[in-house]
């Protein structure tokens, strides 16, 4: 049985992740932490969790906590993950892994030195929708993949329109680099999963709308270790009616088109003609990854597909596109 403690218990833990920790066999939540003590107590009461804290280190040092789920903004991931691993407690960290590649590398060093597991919430690697794309790619229906293209365009969120209500996601000290870090991380991690590490990348950034201080437009090009080339366009302050969420894989005999966040039907144009695929998600979208982590920690399953090594690669790819590193 794995007894979890949550550092951070905001929106992501209400449905996407939190309930899965109890739905999975031999797993339970025994403590939660939030800096606002009233909100921590409220979460614990609503979810029938025995203990709550407003101090992260009190939770980390709670002897009843076996493993720690870190669901704070990325700017504090490294601090809490390092402290948990040094206390001998496996960690499951929200994505992106941290607010910079340097912070990720610090986490990776401690994971290597201590041997304490460090997993990261790139759960798309486990979802049937994305496993279907991988299966279609491996089937040979589109021949040999040569290029992948990302197009992601959305209008501003309501909170973006007032500097007083800005999300932590557009505050560099908390998020790392705006919505690009928050959303493109999922896309680039998944492409790492199916095409291998991004070994080269470059890009350009702009702040066209001026709604906040970080970039709202990013264009990038990159190369995977498999030889597949990539290009992407991300825009987070488009006109209200403009919305695009597509990834297209081009091969020698066809293409696969799908989305990252809207789970639109997968469209295969291959040697057998056009085919459409629809896949269902679990009620709690992180369920399968959390299940694999719990099974591994209980000695009942293989090593999970998303850890500090793969997550560090995603951060590096983003930082190369943003011009932060070569």
How far apart, in whole angstroms, are the C-alpha atoms of residue 60 and residue 15? 23
pTM reported for the whole predicted model: 0.96
Alpha helices in the chain (DSSP H): 11-14, 20-23, 37-46, 56-60, 77-86, 101-114, 128-138, 172-175, 178-179, 185-195, 287-297, 308-321
In angstroms, the Cα distances linking 315 to 188, 294, 320 are 9, 25, 9
> How many Cα atoms are found within 13 Å in the side-chain-facing hemisphere of 55?
4
**Sheet hosting strand 273-277, strand order edge to edge:** 198-206, 217-224, 229-235, 145-153, 244-251, 255-258, 266-270, 273-277
Contact 13, 71 (CB under 8 A): yes
User: Is 2-124+285-305 CATH 3.40.50.720?
Assistant: yes
pLDDT for position 326: 66
CB atoms under 10 Å from CB of 112, counted, come to 12
Angle (nearest 5°) at CA 19 between 15 and 24 = 140
* 2-124+285-305 and 128-280, same CATH topology: no
> How many Cα atoms are found within 13 Å in the side-chain-facing hemisphere of 52?
19
Q: What is the mean pLDDT of each run of 10 residues along the chain (326 residues)?
A: 96 95 98 96 97 98 98 97 98 98 98 98 98 97 98 96 93 93 98 98 97 97 98 96 96 98 97 96 97 98 98 98 87
Token readout for 288 is: 């399968």
Contact 2, 66 (CB under 8 A): yes
**Sheet hosting strand 51-53, strand order edge to edge:** 51-53, 27-33, 2-7, 67-70, 91-93, 118-120
Q: At what angle do helices 185-195 and 308-321 cross, to 10 degrees?
A: 120
- φ and ψ of 125, to 5 deg: -60, -20
Token readout for 50 is: 């025995």
Contact 222, 230 (CB under 8 A): yes
- Beta-bridged to residue 269, according to DSSP, are 255, 274
pLDDT for position 241: 87
Alpha helices in 49-127 (DSSP H): 56-60, 77-86, 101-114
Domain ranges of the chain: 2-124+285-305, 128-280
How far apart, in whole angstroms, are the C-alpha atoms of residue 47 and residue 19? 9
Q: Is 9 helix (H, G, I), strand (E, B) or coil?
A: coil
Fold of 128-280: Dihydrodipicolinate Reductase; domain 2 (3.30.360)
């Amino acid at each position: 049985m794995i007894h979890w403690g949550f550092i951070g218990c905001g929106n992501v833990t209400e449905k996407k992740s939190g309930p899965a920790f109890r739905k999975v066999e031999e797993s339970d939540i025994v403590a939660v932490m939030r800096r606002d003590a009233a909100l921590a107590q409220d979460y614990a009461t609503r979810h029938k969790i025995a203990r709550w804290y407003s101090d992260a280190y009190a939770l980390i040092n709670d002897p009843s906590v076996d493993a720690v789920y870190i669901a704070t903004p990325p700017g504090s991931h490294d601090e809490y993950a390092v402290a948990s691993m040094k206390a001998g407690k496996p960690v499951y960290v929200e994505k992106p892994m941290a607010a910079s590649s340097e912070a990720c590398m610090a986490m990776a060093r401690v994971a290597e030195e201590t041997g304490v597991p460090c997993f990261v919430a790139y759960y798309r690697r486990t979802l049937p929708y994305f496993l279907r794309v991988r299966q279609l790619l491996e089937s040979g229906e589109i021949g040999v993949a040569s290029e992948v293209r990302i197009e992601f365009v959305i209008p501003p969120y309501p909170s973006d329109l007032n500097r007083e209500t800005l999300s932590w996601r557009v505050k560099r000290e908390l998020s790392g680099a705006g919505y690009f870090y928050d959303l493109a991380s999922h896309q680039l991690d998944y492409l790492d999963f199916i095409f291998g590490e991004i070994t080269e990348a470059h890009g350009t950034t702009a702040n066209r709308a001026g709604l906040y201080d970080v970039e709202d437009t990013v264009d990038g090009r990159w190369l995977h270790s498999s030889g597949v080339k990539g290009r992407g366009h991300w825009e987070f302050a488009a006109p209200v009616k403009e919305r695009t969420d597509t990834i297209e894989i081009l091969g020698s005999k066809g293409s696969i088109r799908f989305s990252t966040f809207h789970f639109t039907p997968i469209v295969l144009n291959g040697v057998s003609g056009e085919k459409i695929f629809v896949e269902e998600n679990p009620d709690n979208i992180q369920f399968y990854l959390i299940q694999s982590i719990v099974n591994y920690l209980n000695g009942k399953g293989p090593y999970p597909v998303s850890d500090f090594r793969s997550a560090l690669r995603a951060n590096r790819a983003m930082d190369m596109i943003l011009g932060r590193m070569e």
